[in-house]
Structure 1
Amino acid sequence: MEQGLKIQVEELFAEADLVKWFTTLRKAVKDVKDKNTMFREPLENLDSKLEELNPLIENIENKYSTKKKKKEKGVPKLKDELDQPKWEVGKMVKQIENGNELVRKCSKRTPWNVFHALQLGDLKKCLNRLLSILKEEGIRNVFGKMVVSRENLGSFTTLADVTVGLDEPLRDLKNMLLRDNNVSMVVLNGFGGYGKTTLAIKFCEDKEVKAIFNKNIFLVPISKEPKLEVIQALRQRMAGPDDPLLLVLDDVWSNSESLLREFYDLKLKKCKILVTSRIKFRGFGTPYNLKPLNHKDSMTLLRHSASLGDISPDQDLLEEVLEHCKGLPLAISVIGKSLRGKDTEFWRSSLADWFKGSIPDSESDAELLLSLQSSIDALGDNEAIIRECFMDLASFPEGQRISAAAFIDMWAELYNLDEDSLSITILHKLASRGLANLVITRNIEILDDYYIEHFVRQHDRLRDLAIYNAKLDPIEYRKRLIVVSGDNQPINASRLSISSGGLISLFRKGKYVQKSQPINARLLSISSDGKSSKQWTSVHLPQLEVLVLNFTTENNAVPEFAQKFDKLKALIVTNYGSLPTELSNFHLLKSLSNLKRIRLERISIHSITKNFVPLKSLKKISLYMCNIGQAFCNCSIKISDAWPGLKEMNIDYCHDLRELPAELCDLVHMEILSITNCHKLSALPEEIGKLKNLEVLRLRSCTDLERLPVSIERLTKLYRLDMYNCFTIKELPKDIDKMSSLRMINVGQCLRLDELPVSVSVLDVQLEKVICDEEKKDLWELFIAREKIKVAKEQPNLNWLEMPPL
C-alpha cells in the first residue's frame, strides 16, 4: 500500500512531463551560466539545486519511461481524488517549463535583466518546493496520509492552541503501547469533550513515537459511519507491514465493533493500534480511561481561554466557573471564550443564569451540554443573530466540512444579510467563542469577498447543543426543523411528519402522538441515508424559506412535498458521497415562484438539464464539485428562457468542465460570473461579449485557461476581473482599454504573463487597483501608477489537504 501511495505521487509528476522539462532546464542552465556575469551566481545556485534534484527525477524517469503504471486495484489514483495536489504539480511543472525560456533570455544583455533576476529567484523557490515534495517525508507523510484520511486530515494537522493535563496520560499510553510487547491495542475512553482526539494527536506527534514508527503513522477518523474506501485502504496497509506501524482509529462508535475485532484479531507484531471512543468496548485490547482535568490544569485552561493574562478577577468567580465545568476541557474552553473581555458583573450574571438551566433528555450528556449551554446564554440581546446562526450550523451532518458559501445563501434569506462579508463575520464570531471551527484552505492577503476557500466544522457535542436549543420551543413554534430520514436519528430529534392539513405526527417512545397544529418553521434540514420515510410524503410548511437536503447515497431526489413550499427562497443540496450523484424530481421546483437561490454540491447537472424547467425568480445558482460536461448544451428549452432573471452564477471545482458552454452567454442579465479551480477549463466562448451587464468576472485558478476571448472587450460594465493563478495565460486582450468600467484586475500568479498591451496605459486613469506578484510589479509600473499596484502574498498552510475527493 505504502509503495502504491508513493507511486501515485510520482505518476502525477510523470504525467505532467516533469522529466522532460527538468532535463531541458538543466541543460539550459549549464549552457548559459557562464555567458552573462550578472546571472552567474543565481544560475550556479540553480545548477546546484538541479543536481540535488537529479537523482529523484531519474527515479521517476526509470519507473515511467516504458509505460504508465496501471491504477492499483482498490487504491484510487491521487490525481483523480485530490485536485489541489494536481493543481500544485501543474503549477510547478509550468514554472519549470517557462524556466528554460527564462534561462535562455539570461544569456543576453537586455533592459529586462533586473526583471529576469527576480524571476530566477522565484524559479529557485519552485525547485526547493519540488525537492521537499519528492523527498521521502513529503511523499509518505503528506500525500500518503491523504489517501487514508483525505477528508479529515486537516482536523488532525495541528493541536489545540493550548493543551493541559495530557502529560501523564501521554506517558501512560507510551508505556502501554511502546514498552509492553503484549499490548497491541489500547482503547482510550472518555466523555465527549474530554480531549481524546487531542491526546491522540499529541501521541502521534511525540518524538519517541515518531522515532519508532518513522513515517508509518496513520490517524483515521471513524465516527458514526465509517467510510468503506478508507477501511479498504487500511486493510491493504495492514497486510503484514515490513516496518513498525501505528494506526489511530479516532472517534469509534458502538456500531463499529466488527471493525475493531477485524483489526484486533490481526495481532501483528509490528503494528500498534490506538482507539479513541466514548464507548468502553469489552474484549478489545487494553482499556485506558481519560479523566477530567484536575483543578490546576482547569484553571490554566480557563485563564488562557478567557485571555486573562496577568489580570486577576475575583478568584471566587473563577472557582464557580470551574465548578460548573466539572473538569471538561471543551466546556472550559468554550465558556472561557464566551467570557473573554467581559467585566465582573457580566461574569456574575452569567453564573446566575447558568445554574437556572434545564437538563437535556440524555443523562449521559447532561453535564457537558449544561456546561456548554452557558456559552449560548452568555450571548447578549444584541447578539441574538449569533445565537440563531449557531443553531443553523446543525442543519448539516456531524463531522463534515461545510462550505461557508452555504451559510451565505441561507442567512441572506433568513436574516437579510445581503453582503456576503456579514455572514463571514458571524462565522468568525462563532469561531472566536469556540462554537465552531472556521478553516480557510488558502490564505491570500489580497482577494475580494468571494469565500469559496472558507469552510466550517462543528464539534459533535456542539452540534448536539445546537439541536437541543432548537428543540426548546414547542414544535409548532420552532424556527427550524432538523430531521434525519431513515434509521439514523440525530440526538434528541424526533421523527415527524406533517400532512397538508397541518397534522403533526411525533414518534416518541415507540408510538405516534398526533396533534393538529400548523408549523411555522422557516428552515427545514433533512439528512437522508437512503431509507426514505413514508411519513414525509405529504409535508407542507407554509412559512418555509430555506430547504437543506443532505444525501449520502446515489440517485437522490428532490422530495415531492417540496413543490408545496410556496415561500421557499433558497435550496441547498449537498451530496456527501465520493462522486457526484444524480438528482431527480428537479422539475417539482417549477411551481416555486419565490425561489431565488440554488446551491448544489457534488451533483450531476445532466440530471437537471435533461428535463429543464423554468425558474423565473432564480437570481443565483452555485455549482460546487459538480459534473457539468455539456449539460447546458441542447437543452429542452433555452437556458435564457429557463432562468431569465439569473444575476449570479458560481462554478467551483467542477473538474470535468473543459469549455464554458456558449449557451450560458445568453443569460444577458448576469452580473457576476465566477469560475474557480476548474483546472481543465481551457477556453471561454467568444460569445462572452454578449454578457453586457456583467460586472464581476472571476477565473481564479483555472490553470489550463490559455487566453481570454477578444469579445471580452465588449464588457463595458465589468469593473472587476480576477485571473489569480491562471498561470497559462500569456497575454491580455489587445484593446483592453475598451472595458471602460474596469476598476480592479487581479493577475497574481499569472506566471506566463510577460508582456502587456500598450492599451493598458489608457486604463491608468480609471483603474483603482492592480494585484500582481512581486516579480511582475516592475512590468505593471511601466503603465500604471505605482501606488495602485498591490503585491499578492499567499501564506502557505496545509489546510488545503482537507480538500474532499472529486
Structure 2
Amino acid sequence: MSVDVVGTAVGTAFGELFSLVKEVVRTVVVFRDELVKIASTLDSIVPIMEDINELNKRLDRKDLGQIQALINDGTDLVRKCSKIKAFNWYKRYTHSKKLTEFDAKLAREFQLSVPLMGVRNTVEILGEVMELREEFREYRSSQANDGALQSGLGASGNLVVPEAPDFIIGSELEASLRKIKGQLLEEGVSVIVVTAPGGCGKTTLLAKLCHDMDIKGKFNNNIMFIRVSKKLNLTDIVQKMIQHKNFRVPTIETEDLAVHYLQQLLEKIGQNPVLLVLDDVWTESKSFLDKFVFKKIKDYKIVVTSRYEFPDVSFVHHLNPLNNGEALELFRRSVTVDNRSMVVPDDDLVEQVVNRCKGLPLALTVVAKSLQGKDRSFWETKLLDWSEGRSLLRSDTDILDCLRKSLDDLDGDSSIKERFMDLSSFPEDRKIPATALIDMWVELYKLDFNGIRAVSDLHKLVYRNLADLVITRRDLSDDEDRSYSSHYVMQHDLLRDLAIMDCKQGEVEKRKRLFLDLTGNNFPDWWSEQKQPTLGARLVSISTDGTFSTPWPNLQLPEAEALVLNFETNSQTKTYALPEFIEKADKLKALIVTNYSFFLAELHNFHVIGSNLRRMRLERVTVPLLSMGKLRLHNLQKISFFMCDIGRASTSNDAKISDAMPNLVELDIDYCNDLVTLPDGICEIKPLRKLSITNCHNFSELPEQIGQSAALEVVRLNSCTDLSLLPDSIGTLQKLISLIISDCLNLSALPHQIGQLVNLKRINMKGCLRLSELPRSIVKLRNLRKVVCDKEKEVLWGPLKSSLNALNIIVSEEEEANLDWLRD
C-alpha cells in the first residue's frame, strides 16, 4: 500500500519516516529485526494516516502535534541508526533498545490519539477533537451496517497467514522451501502450484514460507492466505480480500463483478509486490484459479496448494513424503511427552509402524499420539489390525483407512472420539469457535456449566494432533473467567472426512449424528420422500449454500439435543428462516446458527424455538434483542451474539426480555457494532451471573439499573472504545468477582462506589489509556487479588500494596501494544 498522505505536515513527516525505514531495512543489516517490526507497525498505520489526512482537510488543520513530534523523533533515530557501524557494540545495544521502545510508543500513541476505526471505518476522535464525536457517530453507524466492520476472526475467516511450527523435519521440505522462496523473490508475475496427497504438509510448508523474513520483507502486508476448499464462493473470497486491505466492502452480486472488483483491488495494492496463497484448490476449480491471474500487475505471485496437478501451469512443485529417516525422527518426536524421552518398543517394531505411514506427516503424528504410553502388546495389536487392511498409502482413502485404525482405541476413553466426531458439525476449512463447541458439549454430555471439562476434552484432541487450536488474541482474564472468546479450532480436511465417513455408517434412522451438506434444494432421497423417517440422532448439523430456498421439508428429530445450522445467503435476499421442524424437537437444548456469508442476514421464524432450549449462539445475523422479549425461552441459560445487529428498537411495547429469558445466567455480546446500550430489562434477570460485552465500539454506557443484577459475578467490557464511564450503581454488585475493562480507551474514571465491591478479586484495565487516577474508595477492596494494567498505570496501584496485602500487580508487556485488535 502506498503512503498517499502527503499534503499535511504530519502526512509528509509520516511519508518520510515510512520511506526511510524501508530504505534502511534494505541497506543496513545491523538493526534489521527492529526495523522490520517498525515497518510492519507503519504498514498497519497507513490506512489510519489516510483517514487523518481526509479529516485534516475537512477540519482545516495542519498537524497532530504530539504524533508529528513522535514521527519526527523516529525519523531522527532511524537516521542515526543507519550510520552506526557493526563493530560498535555499545551503540548497537543502546540504539536497538531505542528502536524497540519507539515501536511500542508509536503503537500506543496511535491507539490513544488518532481516529479509531472498528476495521478502519468506525471513527472515534479522542483528545482535542472530542467535540466532533456526534458529527461522526452517524457516519460510524452507517459504516457498521454494511458489514464492513465485521471481524475476520470468526465465521468468515480472515486472510492472515496461519501460525507455522518452530521447526520442520525433512530435507524434502527444506529443499521445497528454498526452491519456492527463490521463485517468489524473483520479479514478475507467476503462478506456482504445490501438489501432494492430503496429509503431506502443503499448508504447513506455505505457512512457514510466508513467515520467512525475506518473504515478509518483500511482500509486507500484501500477503493474503485464502483457504479455498471444495465448496468455494468467489464473491465471498473477493469481499474478504477487500476487507482484509481495509477498504469499504461493496455488495457483489455476480462472479463477473467479483472479478472486476478483484482486479481493481490488485491494481490498487499492486504498486508493491503481492503474494496470494490459495490453499486447498480442487481440480474442479481450475477455472476459478484463472480468474485470479492478471498479467498487468507488476510483481504479483500466486501460490496454489492442491492434491491435484494443474498441467498447464508453468511451475508445478511436487511435495514428496518424508524419507524413512525423517519419518522416524518425526514419529519419535511425536510419541514423546513434553520433550521427555519415553520407553518405546524396540526399533524393529517402531520401524514397522512408521513404514505403515509411508512418510506422511499427518499419519505419523496422529498414529504416534494414539500409541503414546502404550505397552508392546498394544503396538503389536495395532500392527495386526493394520495388516488386515491395505499395505500401502497411495490415496486419500488409504490414508483414512490408516487413521481410522489408529483411532479405534483412544486411551480407552470413548469421550475423546465422540468429541472428535462432533467437530465435523462445522464446515470445512472454517475456524470453529471454541465457545460453540463448549455450548454443544455441555448439553450433549451433561458437563459443568462453565465448560471446564469441555475445554479439557478440546485440549486432548489438540494434544493428539486431531485438531489445531488457534488463539487470535491472548487475554490474561480469558482462562480465569472461562471466556475462550478468542479460541478457535481447526481440523485437517482428511480428519474431517474420516469423522464424516464414520458418522454415515449404518441406517440413517439409527445414527447418533446426522450431518447434511446441501447444495441448493437437493435433499437426500430419504428426506424428500413423502413418509418421513423418525431419526434418532442426538446431534444434527445442516449446511446450506446461497442457492438454497425455503420452505424446509419436514424432519422428525425427537431425540435431537443439539442442532447446528450453517448457512450462506445470496446477495439479493440476505435472509434466513429457521426450519419449522425445530418446533417439534422437544429435547433440543443447544442451537448454534452461523451465517457464513460476508454480509449479515436477517433471521426469521424465531417462534419455532421451544422452551426447553438452554443455550443459543447466533453469528452474523440481524435479530433485534428487544424483539426477543416476545419469545418464551424459560429454560435458556446462555445466549451469545457474535458479529450481529441486535440494537434495533422493538416493535412490541409490552414485550420484556426478562419475561422471555427469566433464567438466563450468561449473556455474551461480541463485535456487535450497532449496540449502544443494554435494554433495561436485561438488568431485571435475577439469575444473571456473567455479562460480557466485548469489541462493541459504539457501546457507550451500562444502564444505571445494572445495580439490580445482584447475582453478577463477572462483568467483561473489553475493547468498548466508546465507553467513558461506569454507572455508580455498579457498586451494589456485592457478588462481583471479576471486572474486565481492558482496551476501553475512552474510559476516564472508575466510579467512586467501586470500593463497595467487597468480593472483587480481579481487575483487568490494560489499555485504559485515559484513566489517570483511582477513586479513594479503592482501598476498601480487601479481597482484590490481581490487577492487570499497563506499565504507566502501575504507579497508580503501587502505593495500595501496603493496605491491600494480597494484591498482585501484573504489568502488561510492552510488546503487546499493537494495532492488531483494530482490524477486528
Q: Which bracket does the TM-score occupy, shorter chain normalised?
A: 0.7 to 0.9
Residues in 2 aligned to 1:488 and 1:676: alpha-carbon distance in whole angstroms: 37
Alignment of 1:56-135 (within 5 A): 79=117, 81=119
Residues in 2 aligned to 1:354 and 1:274: alpha-carbon distance in whole angstroms: 36
In structure 2, the CA distance between the partners of 1:534 and 1:682, relative to structure 1 (3 Å rule), is: closer
Mean Cα displacement is larger for which, 642-651 or 550-559?
A: 642-651
Residues in 1 aligned to 2:405 and 2:643: alpha-carbon distance in whole angstroms: 38
Residues in 2 aligned to 1:698 and 1:160: alpha-carbon distance in whole angstroms: 34
1:24-78 Cα offsets, whole Å, 9 max, x none, are 4777999xxxxxxxxxxxxx99xx989989xx99xx9xxxx9xx9xxxxxxxxx9
Match of 1:656 in 2: 674
Cα displacement (A) at 1:729: 2.3
Alignment of 1:724-763 (within 5 A): 724-763=742-781
In structure 2, the CA distance between the partners of 1:531 and 1:153, relative to structure 1 (3 Å rule), is: closer
Residues in 2 aligned to 1:760 and 1:496: alpha-carbon distance in whole angstroms: 65
Residues in 2 aligned to 1:211 and 1:27: alpha-carbon distance in whole angstroms: 27
SS in 1 for 2:204: helix
1:139-179 Cα offsets, whole Å, 9 max, x none, are xxxxxx999x9934445342464342313334554676777
Contact 1:772 1:789 in 2 (8 A): no
Contact 2:520 2:546 in 1 (8 A): no
Residues in 2 aligned to 1:297 and 1:675: alpha-carbon distance in whole angstroms: 49
Q: Does 1:386 align with 2:416?
A: yes
Cα displacement (A) at 1:780: 3.0
Residues in 1 aligned to 2:468 and 2:562: alpha-carbon distance in whole angstroms: 23
Cα displacement (A) at 1:731: 2.4
Paired amino acid for 2:198:
G
Gap regions ≥5 residues in structure 1: 31-43, 69-77, 99-144, 505-517
In structure 2, the CA distance between the partners of 1:776 and 1:24, relative to structure 1 (3 Å rule), is: closer
Match of 1:228 in 2: 238
Q: Which of 705, 708, 718 matches 2:723? A: 705
Cα displacement (A) at 1:409: 0.7
Alignment of 1:434-513 (within 5 A): 434-447=465-478, 448=480, 449-487=482-520, 496-497=526-527, 503-504=532-533
Cα displacement (A) at 1:725: 2.9
Contact 2:629 2:658 in 1 (8 A): no
Q: Does 1:373 align with 2:404?
A: yes
Paired amino acid for 2:751:
P
1:630-676 Cα offsets, whole Å, 9 max, x none, are 34585551212222222221111212212223232232332221112
Paired amino acid for 1:410:
M
Match of 1:618 in 2: 636
Cα displacement (A) at 1:16: 9.1
CA RMSD of aligned residues (A): 4.5
In structure 2, the CA distance between the partners of 1:478 and 1:317, relative to structure 1 (3 Å rule), is: same
Cα displacement (A) at 1:242: 5.2
1:558-587 Cα offsets, whole Å, 9 max, x none, are 011111101111111111122221111111
Cα displacement (A) at 1:610: 7.3
In structure 2, the CA distance between the partners of 1:757 and 1:365, relative to structure 1 (3 Å rule), is: same
Q: Does 1:332 align with 2:358?
A: no
Cα displacement (A) at 1:626: 0.9
Residues in 1 aligned to 2:332 and 2:650: alpha-carbon distance in whole angstroms: 57
Q: Which of 550, 574, 579 matches 2:566? A: 550
Q: Does 1:350 align with 2:389?
A: no
SS in 1 for 2:291: helix
Match of 2:620 in 1: 602
Contact 1:692 1:717 in 2 (8 A): yes
Paired amino acid for 1:675:
I
Match of 2:346 in 1: 314
Residues in 1 aligned to 2:193 and 2:657: alpha-carbon distance in whole angstroms: 56
Contact 1:609 1:635 in 2 (8 A): no
SS in 2 for 1:663: helix
Cα displacement (A) at 1:203: 4.3
In structure 2, the CA distance between the partners of 1:157 and 1:150, relative to structure 1 (3 Å rule), is: farther
Contact 1:154 1:802 in 2 (8 A): no
Identity, % of aligned positions: 41
Contact 2:724 2:747 in 1 (8 A): yes
Paired amino acid for 2:65:
T
In structure 2, the CA distance between the partners of 1:698 and 1:498, relative to structure 1 (3 Å rule), is: farther
Q: Does 1:11 align with 2:50?
A: yes
Q: Does 1:785 align with 2:791?
A: no
Match of 2:20 in 1: none
Cα displacement (A) at 1:324: 1.5
Q: Does 1:169 align with 2:186?
A: no
Q: State TM-score, norm by structure 2.
A: 0.74
In structure 2, the CA distance between the partners of 1:573 and 1:540, relative to structure 1 (3 Å rule), is: same
Mean Cα displacement is larger for which, 602-611 or 518-527?
A: 602-611
Match of 2:28 in 1: none
Contact 1:2 1:237 in 2 (8 A): no
Paired amino acid for 1:169:
S
Q: Does 1:433 align with 2:464?
A: yes
Cα displacement (A) at 1:685: 1.2
Number of equivalences: 698
Paired amino acid for 2:804:
A
In structure 2, the CA distance between the partners of 1:263 and 1:646, relative to structure 1 (3 Å rule), is: closer
1:449-493 Cα offsets, whole Å, 9 max, x none, are 21111111111111111112222343332211111122599xxx9
Paired amino acid for 1:409:
D
Paired amino acid for 1:725:
D
Paired amino acid for 1:620:
K
Match of 1:38 in 2: none
Alignment of 1:30-45 (within 5 A): none
In structure 2, the CA distance between the partners of 1:596 and 1:52, relative to structure 1 (3 Å rule), is: closer
Contact 2:196 2:320 in 1 (8 A): yes
Match of 1:523 in 2: 539
Paired amino acid for 1:458:
Q
Mean Cα displacement is larger for which, 654-663 or 383-392?
A: 654-663
Match of 1:72 in 2: none
Residues in 2 aligned to 1:564 and 1:633: alpha-carbon distance in whole angstroms: 27
Cα displacement (A) at 1:523: 0.6
Paired amino acid for 1:760:
I
Match of 1:266 in 2: 295
Q: Does 1:184 align with 2:212?
A: no
In structure 2, the CA distance between the partners of 1:388 and 1:82, relative to structure 1 (3 Å rule), is: farther
Contact 2:729 2:753 in 1 (8 A): no
SS in 2 for 1:550: strand
In structure 2, the CA distance between the partners of 1:636 and 1:217, relative to structure 1 (3 Å rule), is: same
Paired amino acid for 2:381:
S
Match of 1:421 in 2: 452
Q: Does 1:403 align with 2:403?
A: no
Cα displacement (A) at 1:618: 1.6
Cα displacement (A) at 1:426: 1.4
Contact 1:498 1:536 in 2 (8 A): no
Q: State TM-score, norm by structure 1.
A: 0.76
Residues in 1 aligned to 2:598 and 2:307: alpha-carbon distance in whole angstroms: 27
Residues in 2 aligned to 1:763 and 1:364: alpha-carbon distance in whole angstroms: 64
Gap regions ≥5 residues in structure 2: 5-42, 73-93, 131-150, 242-257
Contact 2:629 2:657 in 1 (8 A): no
Q: Does 1:292 align with 2:292?
A: no
